[in-house]
Chain A
Amino acid sequence: GEDVEQSLFLSVREGDSSVINCTYTDSSSTYLYWYKQEPGAGLQLLTYIFSNMDMKQDQRLTVLLNKKDKHLSLRIADTQTGDSAIYFCAESPFSGGYNKLIFGAGTRLAVHP
């Protein structure tokens, strides 16, 4: 089946690291994505990882993938107030021709001073 789960809320102090976790169910998913949504805006692609990779780093962002456990995480280093937003994890299952994204419910990240 197709299902993506995320915790709904995360609160961190400015300057700390944030870790947002996600689990997915479809082992056929080739790409896994992280999107950011700010209030009133669309989705901003932050990063994605190919399923044969374990880790991907892009500036302050680190994605870890445990394919055996179907677990994906996004680490944001040195979290800033501008990082406050909702973060969505998404998978692209083979059954959707890899063109259909299945999203989690989103994790609301609150950054406080």
Chain B
Amino acid sequence: NAGVTQTPKFQVLKTGQSMTLQCAQDMNHEYMSWYRQDPGMGLRLIHYSVGAGITDQGEVPNGYNVSRSTTEDFPLRLLSAAPSQTSVYFCASSSLRTSGINEQFFGPGTRLTVL
């Protein structure tokens, strides 16, 4: 199993450019999510999905779009990049239980810089 994979590992964008961060998992997990990690801010949830065709907003969704057309893939789109979106982005997946989200598996992260 590859687990959770993310591409690219590093990216530099200019203000106003668009791009898609890719995330894929091969564990058949229902739940997938995107976080951003900034110094001193911990992890902040951007968007999440509990299954194919279902997405919802997290704590900081503005400026980001997601879709979940398959169980395996959960891409994150930046439509018009801004310097405030400079951050490290993590994708995570987990199975769902009646008692809540199970252990989350994280990808290695994408370090994004917006100039």
Asked if A pairs with B, the answer is: no
Chain B interface (Cβ < 8 Å from any Cβ of A): none
